[in-house]
Amino acid sequence: RPHYRALSQWLAEGRIGEVVQAQMNFLTSGLIADAEGKLPALVRQPFLASLDRALVMEILIHHVDTLRFLLGDLTLMHARIGHGSAAVRGEDRAFACFETAAGAPVALMANLAVHGRAPAPPDRLTLIGTRGTIELVGDVLRCAGEQPCELRFDLAAGYLQSYASTIAHFIDCLQGGRDFETAPADNLRTLGLVEAIYASGGTQVKDR
């Protein structure tokens, strides 16, 4: 995604110094009935209803991958998963706390049944550094501190382009005999963190 590429470049330039804290939220009303009585999350992805592993395996795996892309290898310190909606079998809320190699805490919180939120909102990410702060809120990427900057992105166009760019990269590497930007072993490390969330999260906490 273009906004995460730009954010990664800012980090590489040292715009906010060393990252000391990070938080990423994915809070949506996708499992709350709309005016027609439908659940937006299941209209878009009906298969989610029947999965024993839902939110973390199918959705948050991408957020974990993004955090690793931006911050490097992570270690899971704590996780909790929960289930509240009768419309899905698997977990519909989750919280995970990671640490970077430098010991900075990284929080990831997600919930598919948040009143007052959009059915499919964009990610929200905050990175706090020793010399500045980067925030991604909606389509705006903002850097505050010694090197302030603000960029705005077309998220819908970027979403579509990300698929086209990924496929093109895959084909180019196959034809040219080059390594992929993301190696299979790297993807396995992301999957390992997902498995660790389930192991650490324990039995789903169900609403009473």
Question: What pLDDT shows up at residue 55?
Answer: 96
Question: What pLDDT is attached to residue 193?
Answer: 96
pLDDT tens for each residue of 46-103: 999 999 999 999 999 999 999 999 999 999 999 999 999 999 999 999 999 999 999 9
Q: Mean pLDDT throughout 176-189?
A: 81
Q: SS3 for 58?
A: helix
| 17 occurs within a structural domain | yes
**pLDDT greater than 70 at residue 171:** yes
- The per-residue pLDDT for 174 is 83
**In degrees rounded to 5, what are phi and psi of residue 108?**
-125, 120
Q: Is residue 43 scored above 70 in pLDDT?
A: yes
Give dist(CA 160, CA 194) in Å, integer: 25
Instruction: Judge whether 207 lies within some domain.
Output: no
Averaged confidence pLDDT in the chain: 90
Q: Residue 60 contacts by C-beta under 8 Å, 6 or more apart in sequence?
A: 26, 94, 96, 108, 110, 194, 197
Domain encompassing residue 81: 2-201
Q: Which of 66-70, 164-168, 192-196 has the lowest mean pLDDT?
A: 164-168
**Does position 203 have pLDDT exceeding 60, yes or no?**
no
Determine, yes or no, domain membership for 206: no
List the CATH number of the domain containing 66: 3.30.360.10
Q: pLDDT band at 31, cuts 50/70/90? A: very high
pLDDT(21) > 60: yes
Identify the pLDDT of residue 92: 96
What is the model's pTM?
0.88
* 23 found inside a domain: yes
pLDDT of residue 208: 42
In a domain, 208, yes or no: no
- pLDDT level of residue 154 (50, 70, 90 thresholds): confident
Does some domain include residue 150? yes
Beta bridge partners of 27: 111
Q: What is the pairing mode between strands 124-129 and 132-137?
A: antiparallel
Query: Is the pLDDT confidence value at 204 over 70?
Result: no
- Output the pLDDT for position 120: 87
138 versus 49: which is more confidently predicted? 49
Region 99-112: mean pLDDT is: 97
Coil, helix or strand for 23?
strand
Alpha helices in 95-203 (DSSP H): 155-176, 184-201
Q: Exposed (0-12), middle (13-18) or buried (19+): which is 30, by Cβ within 10 Å?
A: buried
Identify whether the C-beta of residue 51 lies closer than 8 Å to the C-beta of residue 58. Answer: yes
Any domain includes 64: yes
End-to-end CA distance of the chain: 39
Asked if residue 6 is part of any domain, the answer here is yes
Our count of domains for the chain comes to 1
